[in-house]
């Protein structure tokens, strides 16, 4: 409802006594006198406010009617409404039943309407429409689940920093303690919002590598740490990172105050778990009781990150005690990879355990590395792990000399050969000593999952079709094993295209995997699948294909290890083309794995018993107005010879032999219950509206109930105010000309129906009559029993009366809508550009633009302006009288002072 806010003013002066003090000398009740002297103006204000209240109530009454009119037409005369009664389908025979043997009817559903419903039948379905299906080659890793662990002596790197925290606080001088102010955790991932291929934004997750080995990896680590710090915005960052080098060229990752920490004056708490891993060493004499200042922190970061943040050890030492979750055909078990005993057996190997050939390779390696002199002897008691470590260091030195020393290349090859001999012996020893196979047998059954130590550590399944995958939340372990989370002998949907199961398909260097922009070059049916990179998961790829316009749906069948592309539409001619190398490599299994789509073949009779073949691309089709869906084959078969081969006619078509006992027929009836419910509710809503209209124009206002003033409301409780205003609001539209005209129009609806071609007998037959109470304003009587009978026996007549047609120019719903439209409508173009008389007078909540564009709103605005003017006049009057009384009080006070002085002189 439109509302004008007014300034509250009371009949008393209220707070005017705050300006001066009345009656201190004279004893006169100043405020009471001024109230009487300004009574004329305050009375005008209160009267105007009463008029505003009455006009607002009148507007509410109008809007109550106009809103209900629009609700009624929206509900029953709008084609977008589920309760629409203008549409003949609300009364049509559209409940279709399928008759015949259950073995046939279970394959057929139908809806809609048809004039041939009693003639048409389906004799049978020869074949269903199918989609074109292209299966890929089988993507199963021949080596099973393979790791990159082949060199047990190779150095392994794990992070000392990942998962730790820097905590921050502010020193409290009262408690002499650091107050917690948040922390920064060195998490494994962080997220950013980046532009997507559609011009919008997408969330991207970045994984942080805490064990960098190259200069580029160190720079990326610092960039990623800053990305993690700024994940909630640069202004909220607690820290920022820079990369420096010490005198030996090793890396220092420096930590500085971020904008948030700098602004708030945070210090680093000494209990922070990440201090040591960042190379912090407290200096003597530095007071850290109030936390560590960022300047002191960075100056004390003296240890290189290679030492403080990264733990170096041999691969076998790293893997000892590590456990990996294996999932074998849905059965998941945690398996220890290498036990301490198994490791110790490998590390007990000495030079003596090498064969003569292997010892020679080792001797050549040590000679090339300068560890023994030419012709010198090997120390057979020396442990191979120690020899390997020594050679590894020499190899690094030789690699640095390679550019300047021409002899280094030959030495490098000999050192690598010697290290390779050690690695092969260690792996062979592990194969002999390992009880890993026993642990796998205990978990999954004997030899179901095989552990292999041939060159590298790998796992395979012996049962064809079985799936083996590995998972762990330990990022470093996955990195050291050289596998991704969920790595499998089949396709890992959470992995990328670089996974082992796809190695063979994508191992051809001629295959173009990405385009010039680093996007996957994936093109199907002429459509480029965008938004994918080498880092995208297989799930991402399948999802992008399915949401594209390529016209196919992609899936992965775990049981066979194949991708499957299915044309989105059924029927013949639904080709699937692969228009890029990557698409072919992933999805094209060749003609042998292509199933071309087929059309449905349905045999129909039109009442003469003859079979008419319908060839349709979809299993849902139109049959003389009915929408029919078939889901199975029934009703006969194609003719075959003695050997079971199909016999074809001279035109090459298969010959259908119908089994008429399996045919299906149709019948239709109206949805009586739904129609009864809609029509019953329509008359309830219509009559409620008519009753409201009649009540508004016949209820006289009670002049003894006027709008309450603020003083009156202050003396009443809420219930009393509510009951009073309920009586005061009655009769607001009594005698209103627009409402009288509306009531007359409503009372003519029944006669309008007869003038449009519906007879009184027709209306009565379907349960509609006019109320015999001529004082009720034109309500209609609905006989549910009669209406139900009419719907069951003659729904066509019901439809004509409600929607028109066949002798009735306008149906009941149209007549009702046209009757109400001149008074209230949602669509001005239906009413000569007007939203209706009632809406023009008071507006409607159903059309917000009318709330400030109606006659009453304009009147209220003018009345508000009058009140504002009267309030200004009242203020001037009050100020003038206050000034006069203040002057009088001042004079009386002086006189009283003089009188008191004279009295003292004569005393």
Dihedral sign from CA coordinates of 148, 154, 160, 161: negative
Say how far apart CA 178 and CA 162 lie, in whole Å. Answer: 25
Identify the pLDDT of residue 18: 37
Phi, psi dihedrals of residue 604, rounded to the nearest 5°:
-120, 145
In angstroms and rounded to an integer, the radius of gyration of the C-alpha atoms of the chain is 46
What is the pLDDT at residue 360?
A: 94
How many angstroms separate the CA atoms of 337 and 322, rounded? 6
Q: Where are the alpha helices (DSSP H) in 77-185?
A: 102-105
Q: Which helix (H) or strand (E) holds 156?
A: strand 155-159
Within 8 A by CB and 6+ apart from 605, the residues are: 120, 121, 122, 123, 611, 612, 663
C-alpha to C-alpha distances, 489 to 323, 448, 459, nearest whole angstrom: 19, 14, 9
Please name the residues in contact with 811: beta carbons below 8 A apart, sequence gap of 6 or more: 86, 800, 801, 802, 803, 804, 805
Q: Furthest-apart CA pair in the chain: how many Å?
A: 156
Extract the runs of DSSP E, i.e. beta strands, from 688-819.
768-770, 780-782
Rounded to the nearest 5°, which phi and psi values hold at 883?
A: -60, -45
Strands (E), 558-663: 562-570, 594-595, 600-605, 612-616, 620-623, 626-630, 636-638, 656-658
Residue with tokens 């920093």: 161
pTM of the model: 0.62
The CA-atom distances, in angstroms, between 855 and each of 451, 647, 823, 830, 899 are 89, 84, 15, 21, 66
Rounded to 5 degrees, φ, ψ at 132 are -75, 130
What's the CA gap between 34 and 447, in Å, rounded?
A: 108
Helix (H, G, I), strand (E, B) or coil at 68: helix
- For the chain (907 residues), the mean pLDDT of every run of 10, in chain order, is 42 43 64 86 88 90 95 94 92 93 96 90 96 94 86 90 95 88 93 80 88 93 96 93 93 95 94 95 87 92 93 92 94 96 96 95 93 91 94 88 86 94 95 96 95 93 88 86 86 86 78 88 95 91 95 93 96 95 94 96 91 95 95 94 89 89 94 95 96 93 86 89 88 91 94 92 94 89 96 94 93 95 93 93 93 92 90 90 84 79 70
Report the C-alpha gap between 56 and 854 in whole angstroms. 12
Please name the residue that has the structure tokens 């627009």: 738
- pLDDT of 6: 40
Phi, psi of 541 (to 5 degrees): -65, -50
Q: What is the DSSP string of 662-703?
A: G-EEEEEE--HHHHHHHHHHHHHHHHHHHHHHHHHHHPPP-T
> What are 365-418's pLDDT values in tens digits?
999 999 999 988 999 999 999 999 999 989 988 888 888 888 889 999 999 999
| Rounded Cα–Cα distance for residues 524 and 565 (Å) | 10
* Cα 615–Cα 618–Cα 620 angle in degrees, nearest 5: 105
Token digits of residue 359: 């010892």
Q: Is 501 helix (H, G, I), strand (E, B) or coil?
A: helix
Phi and psi for 648 in degrees, rounded to 5? Answer: -120, 155
Beta carbons within 10 angstroms of residue 886's beta carbon? 14
Q: What is the DSSP string of 854-894?
A: SHHHHHHHHHHHHHHHHHHHHHHHHHHHHHHHHHHHHHHHH
818 within 8 A of 831, measured Cβ to Cβ = no
Task: Identify whether the C-beta of residue 668 lies closer than 8 Å to the C-beta of residue 93.
Answer: yes
Helix boundaries (H) for 251-405: 259-264, 294-299, 305-308, 315-319, 340-347, 356-368, 384-401
Apex 371 CA angle, 370 and 372, nearest 5:
95
Q: How far apart are CA 697 and CA 687, in angstroms?
A: 16
Per-residue pLDDT tens digits for 571-599: 999 999 999 999 999 999 999 999 999 99
Residue 56: which residues within 8 A CB-CB, separation 6 or more?
Answer: 1, 3, 4, 860
What's the pLDDT score for residue 508?
65
The residues pairing with 629 across neighbouring beta strands, listed in sequence order, are 109, 620
Instruction: Report which secondary-structure segment, H or E, holds 131.
Output: strand 131-135
**Residue 613: its pLDDT value, please?**
94
pLDDT at 515: 87
Give the tokens for residue 592. Answer: 């042998």
What's the first-to-final CA gap in the chain, in angstroms?
75
């Amino acid at each position: 409802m439109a509302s004008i806010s007014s300034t509250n003013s009371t009949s008393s002066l209220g707070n005017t006594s705050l300006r001066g003090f009345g009656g201190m000398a004279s004893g006169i009740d100043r405020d009471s006198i001024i109230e009487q002297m300004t009574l004329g103006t305050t009375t005008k204000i209160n009267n105007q406010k009463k008029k505003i209240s009455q006009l607002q109530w009148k507007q509410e009454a109008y809007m109550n009617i106009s809103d209900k009119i629009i609700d009624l037409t929206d509900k029953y005369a709008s084609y977008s409404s589920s309760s629409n009664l203008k549409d003949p389908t609300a009364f049509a025979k559209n409940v279709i039943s399928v008759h015949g043997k259950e073995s046939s009817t279970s394959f057929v559903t139908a809806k809609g309407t048809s004039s041939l419903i009693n003639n048409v039948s389906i004799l049978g379905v020869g074949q269903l429409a199918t989609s074109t299906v292209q299966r890929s080659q089988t993507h199963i890793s021949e080596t099973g689940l393979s790791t990159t662990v082949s060199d047990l002596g190779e150095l392994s790197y794990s992070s000392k920093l990942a998962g730790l925290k820097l905590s921050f606080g502010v020193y409290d001088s009262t408690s002499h303690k650091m107050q917690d102010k948040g922390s920064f955790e060195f998490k494994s991932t962080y997220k950013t919002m980046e532009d997507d291929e559609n011009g919008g934004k997408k969330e991207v997750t970045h994984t942080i590598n805490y064990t960098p080995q190259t200069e580029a990896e160190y720079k990326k680590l610092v960039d990623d740490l800053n990305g993690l710090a700024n994940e909630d915005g640069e202004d909220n960052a607690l820290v920022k990172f820079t990369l420096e080098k010490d005198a030996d060229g090793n890396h220092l990752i420096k930590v500085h105050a971020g904008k948030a920490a700098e602004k708030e004056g945070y210090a680093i708490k000494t209990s922070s778990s990440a201090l040591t891993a960042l190379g912090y060493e407290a200096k003597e004499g530095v007071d850290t009781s109030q936390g560590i200042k960022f300047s002191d922190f960075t100056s004390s970061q003296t240890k290189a990150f290679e030492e403080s943040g990264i733990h170096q050890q041999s691969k076998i030492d790293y893997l000892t005690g590590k456990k990996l979750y294996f999932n074998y055909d849905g059965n998941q078990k945690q398996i220890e990879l290498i036990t301490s005993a198994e490791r110790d057996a490998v590390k007990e190997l000495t030079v003596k355990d090498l064969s003569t050939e292997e010892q020679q390779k080792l001797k050549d390696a040590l000679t090339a590395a300068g560890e023994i002199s030419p012709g010198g002897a090997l120390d057979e008691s020396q442990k191979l792990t120690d020899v390997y470590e020594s050679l590894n260091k020499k190899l690094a030195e030789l690699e640095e000399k390679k550019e300047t020393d021409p002899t280094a290349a030959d030495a490098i090859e000999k050192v690598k050969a010697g290290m390779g001999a050690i690695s092969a012996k260690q792996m062979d020893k592990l194969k002999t000593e390992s009880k890993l196979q026993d642990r796998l047998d205990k978990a999954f059954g004997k030899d179901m999952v095989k552990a292999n130590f041939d060159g590298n550590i790998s796992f395979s399944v012996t049962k064809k079709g079985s799936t083996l995958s590995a998972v762990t939340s330990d990022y470093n372990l996955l990195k050291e094993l050289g596998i991704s989370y969920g790595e499998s002998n089949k396709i890992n949907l959470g992995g990328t295209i670089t996974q082992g199961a796809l190695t063979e398909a994508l191992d051809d260097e001629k295959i173009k995997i990405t385009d010039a922009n680093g996007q996957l070059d994936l093109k199907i049916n002429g459509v480029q699948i965008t938004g994918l990179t080498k880092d995208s998961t297989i799930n991402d790829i399948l999802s992008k294909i399915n949401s594209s316009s390529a016209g196919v749906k992609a899936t992965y069948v775990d049981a066979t290890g194949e991708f499957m592309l299915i044309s989105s539409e059924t029927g013949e001619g639904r080709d699937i083309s692969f228009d890029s190398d990557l698409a072919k490599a992933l999805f094209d299994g060749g003609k042998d794995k292509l199933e071309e789509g087929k059309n449905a073949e349905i045999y129909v009779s039109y009442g003469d018993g003859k079979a008419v073949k319908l060839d349709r691309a979809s299993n849902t089709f139109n049959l003389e107005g009915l929408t029919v869906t078939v889901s199975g084959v029934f009703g006969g078969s194609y003719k075959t010879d003695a050997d079971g081969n199909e016999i074809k006619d001279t035109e090459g078509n298969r010959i259908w032999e119908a089994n008429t006992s399996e045919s299906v027929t149709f019948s239709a009836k109206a949805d009586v219950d739904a129609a009864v419910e809609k029509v019953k509710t329509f008359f309830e809503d219509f009559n409620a509206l008519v009753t409201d209209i009649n009540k508004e124009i016949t209820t006289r206002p009670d002049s003894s109930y006027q709008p309450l003033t603020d003083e009156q409301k202050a003396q009443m409780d809420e219930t009393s105010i509510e009951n009073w205003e309920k009586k005061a609001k009655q009769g607001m539209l009594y005698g209103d000309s627009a409402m009288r005209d509306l009531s007359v129009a409503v009372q003519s609806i029944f006669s309008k129906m007869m003038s449009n071609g519906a007879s009184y007998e027709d209306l009565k037959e379907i349960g509609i009559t006019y109320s015999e109470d001529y004082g009720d304003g034109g309500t209609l009587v609905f006989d549910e029993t009669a209406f139900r009978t009419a719907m069951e026996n003659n729904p066509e007549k019901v439809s004509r009366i409600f929607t028109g047609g066949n002798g009735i120019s306008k149906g009941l719903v149209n007549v009702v809508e046209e009757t109400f439209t001149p008074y209230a409508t949602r669509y001005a173009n239906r009413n000569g550009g007007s939203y209706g008389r009632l809406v023009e007078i008071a507006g409607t909540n159903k059309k917000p633009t009318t709330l400030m564009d109606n006659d009453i709103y304009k009147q209220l605005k003018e009345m508000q302006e009058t009140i504002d003017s009267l309030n200004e006049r009242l203020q001037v009057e009050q100020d003038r009288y206050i000034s006069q009384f203040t002057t009088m009080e001042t004079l009386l006070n002086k006189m009283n002072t003089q009188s008191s002085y004279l009295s003292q002189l004569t005393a």
